[in-house]
């Protein structure tokens, strides 16, 4: 584990479900969680880009 990572214990049913879902994609539980987190971060980045774009358009429309 890297210094910037934090280990979070998961309840057994949650860990089991994540492991089963990861197996469907041929991934380890850690790889599966990493893909989920990266996907969330990418979605948040796209939202921020869109909001910045809309904000810049709003400023362009001002006289």
Task: Flag whether pLDDT at 62 surpasses 90.
Answer: no
How far apart (Å, rounded) are the C-alpha atoms in residues 43 and 45?
Answer: 5
pLDDT digits over 30-55, tens only?
899 999 999 999 999 999 999 999 98
Nearest Cα residue to 22 out of 10, 11, 14, 30: 30
Cβ–Cβ under 8 Å, residues 47 and 40: no
- pTM greater than 0.85: no
The pLDDT value given to residue 53 = 92
Please indicate whether residue 58 or residue 18 has the higher confidence score (pLDDT): 18
């Amino acid at each position: 584990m890297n210094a910037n990572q934090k280990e979070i214990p998961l309840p057994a049913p949650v860990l089991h479900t994540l492991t089963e879902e990861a197996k469907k994609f041929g991934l380890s539980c850690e790889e599966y969680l990493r893909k989920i987190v990266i996907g969330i971060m990418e979605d948040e980045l796209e939202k921020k880009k869109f909001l910045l774009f809309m904000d810049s358009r709003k400023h362009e429309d001002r006289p």
